[in-house]
Amino acid sequence: MVSLPLDVETLRKDFPVFDTLARGKRLVYLDSAATSQKPHQVIDRMVRFYESENANVHRGIYELAERATIAYEGARESCARFVRARSHRSIVFTRGTTEAINLVRFTWGRANVHAGDEILLTEMEHHSNLVPWQLLAQESGATLRFLPIDDDGRLRVDLLGDYVTDRTKLVGMGLMSNVLGTINPVRTVADAAHSVGARIIVDAAQAAPHLAIDVNELDADFLAYSAHKMCGPTGAGVLYGREDLLEAMPPFHGGGEMIREVYPDHSTWNDIPYKFEAGTPNIAQAVGMGAAVEYLEALGMDAVREHEIGMARYAMNALEAAGAHIYGPKDLSERGAVISFTLGEVHPHDMATIVDQEGVCIRAGHHCAQPLMRRLGVPATARASFYIYNTPEDVDALTDALEKCKEWFA
Amino acid sequence: MSLDELYKEVILDHYRTPRNKGRLDPHDVALERNNPLCGDEIELFVRFDGDTVEGIRFEGKGCSISQASASMMTEKVEGLTVKESGALADSIKRMMAGEEEGDVETLGDLVSLKGVVKYPVRIKCALLGWNTFLEALQEGGKA
């Protein structure tokens, strides 16, 4: 056994899903990089909202509507604190990371990226931080460039000088890779971007559940994260934006709430962040996201990170002993506990189906990062990703199931 | 049929020793299709003699189900008429959709594909070759 900083046995009781079986066996959930499980503290908070606080936000005069607004805005404060944002005004609620990134594409992007400009991404981006910029490049005439990775899945920051030019307008990068687990040196890239007057948008969907984030330390201009990967519900996410940038940006969707005054032929806009929140938001989900932040804060993000380093160490050793080839950095200080691997000639889909028979949930495929898979030279990998509720026993269940794969394909 | 038996008996056999693997030259139709979600790939080569599927070969890489299904398919459709082979492909698709039982008499080993039905995400793997074949019939002006 390895010593772990979280009391996982007690913590697992917070997650009702672990009372259920998978294929009649103990549920071994190793797909938290896709979405995390939810503790009852989050589920109950959303139920309580619907049962005793439900009204539309920011509009009603009555007390119930006040309660709804207080819950919603309280969640915004929690989400601001979670990434050390200086003000709630920097926190726009979205339906997730993808919408947050697209918001920047349609507002800041359209206003600031023009023909001849360059958008710098990395070779390891998730499609959600790639395709929006492809679309912007196509409509604006801008060029996309990609900062390469080395064979261990680390960004070639030594090449920044070649890739950040006076034509660079925007740099987009993930804080943690959802395939390789690599934790990227965002601050180094941000400094390079800022030195030429470019802005940087950080996709923190994979990092936020696992790392303490400080937008000021990262010097991020924009940063996006989702509730559902960090113990919260689907349908809620955050765009953090520097206040002065948000102030200067045109609105995203038009509709109620985002306006100040409306005339037949024109309107004026609400203050930030409301300018970017047209229509009735996903109120209960935002409230649930706030509860998820509080749940993680109570555990302590440093303890979460330490637990995951322990899990990654145990899992990487066990997988290597089982004969798996692991992608991404070997140094645990440079990676999270999301582990992509292949096992000899066993195709990842066959692997996922076979281990599923043992109640083990892993992901197989391209993990929404097709350019990265091409760079790695594999059509697909298997991926086991670990979170606060995983134990070494889960790893053992996986490696036992992998033995079955090997028997079948021997 | 348990997954164990399904994989072991028929699918693994075809996966390990695929039949009709390779290019077919000359050919009337060559068609490459993939499963974007999984990365399974099939390139199918078909040669017609009038209304008969005179020759069929495939290249590909991917999971055992996608490759074994394509291998079994080439064995079955070679020598059939366009009409017969098209009907067989349709019948397999209906079986995989759960709309048809699948007759051991006519389908033989292909019935083993039915074991995939209870793993819904893998059905598209099993059908990649068959869908490519139906497209190849169309492209060859045969269907």
Q: List, for residues A70-106, the tens digit of each pLDDT value.
A: 999 999 999 999 999 999 999 999 999 999 999 999 9
State which amino acid sits at residue A26: R
Provide the pLDDT for residue A4. 60
A405 is catalytic: no
Contact B63 A347 (CB under 8 A): yes
Of all residues in chain A, the percent with pLDDT exceeding 70 is 99
Nearest-neighbour CA in chain A from B94: distance (Å): 23
Q: Are residues A155 and A265 in the same domain?
A: yes
Q: Which residues does chain A have within 8 Å of residue B122's beta carbon, measured at their own beta carbons?
A: 349, 353
Q: Are residues A122 and A252 in the same domain?
A: yes
Q: Collect all residues from A whose CB is shorter than 8 A from any CB in B.
A: 347-350, 353-354, 357, 364-366, 373, 379-380, 408-409
A66: CATH: 3.40.640.10
Q: Are residues A103 and A142 in the same domain?
A: yes
Q: Are residues A225 and A113 in the same domain?
A: yes
Q: List, for residues A291-334, the tens digit of each pLDDT value.
A: 999 999 999 999 999 999 999 999 999 999 999 999 999 999 99
Contact A349 B125 (CB under 8 A): yes
Please say which residue of A297, A325, A352 terminates a domain.
Answer: A297
Of A14-23, A260-269, A309-318, B101-110, least confident by mean pLDDT is B101-110
Residue A109 located in a structural domain: yes
Provide the pLDDT for residue A1. 46
A79, A231, A361, A368: which is the annotated catalytic residue? Answer: A368
Which pTM was predicted?
0.93
A338: CATH: 3.90.1150.10
Domain containing residue A198? 44-297
B6 confidence band (pLDDT: 50, 70, 90):
low
Backbone angles phi, psi at A145, to 5 degrees: -130, 160
Q: What is the dihedral of CA B123, B124, B127, B128, to 10 degrees?
A: -150
DSSP class of B108: G
Task: Tell me the sheet residues that pair with A383.
Answer: A340, A363
For residues B100 and A207, the model is more confident at: A207
Q: Are A328 and A335 in contact (CB under 8 A)?
A: yes
Q: What is the mean pLDDT of chain B?
A: 90
Q: Are B52 and B77 in contact (CB under 8 A)?
A: no
ω before B26 within 30° of 0 (cis)?
yes
Q: Are residues A161 and A275 in the same domain?
A: yes
Question: How many Cβ atoms from other residues are within 10 Å of residue A40's Cβ?
Answer: 13
Interface of B with A in 83-142 (CB under 8 A): 119, 122, 125
Residue A132 located in a structural domain: yes
CA angle B112, B114, B120 (to 5 degrees): 135
Residue A36 located in a structural domain: no
Ranked by mean pLDDT, the top range of A115-124, A348-357, B38-47 is A115-124
CA distance A87 to A93: 14
Contact B63 A373 (CB under 8 A): no
- What domain count does chain A have? 2
State which amino acid sits at residue A301: M
- Selecting from A349, A366, A373 the residue whose C-beta is nearest the C-beta of B63 gives A349
Q: Are B61 and A379 in contact (CB under 8 A)?
A: yes
Task: Tell me the sheet residues that pair with A145.
Answer: A120
Please say which residue of A297, A326, A358 terminates a domain.
Answer: A297
Q: Are A385 and A36 in contact (CB under 8 A)?
A: no
- Selecting from A350, A365, A408 the residue whose C-beta is nearest the C-beta of B8 gives A408
Q: Which residue of A has its CA nearest to B63?
A: A347
Q: List, for residues A26-59, the tens digit of each pLDDT value.
A: 999 999 999 999 999 999 999 999 999 999 998 8
A60 confidence band (pLDDT: 50, 70, 90):
confident
Contact B122 A380 (CB under 8 A): no
Q: Which residues does chain A have within 8 Å of residue B63's beta carbon, measured at their own beta carbons?
A: 347-350
Structure ipTM: 0.84
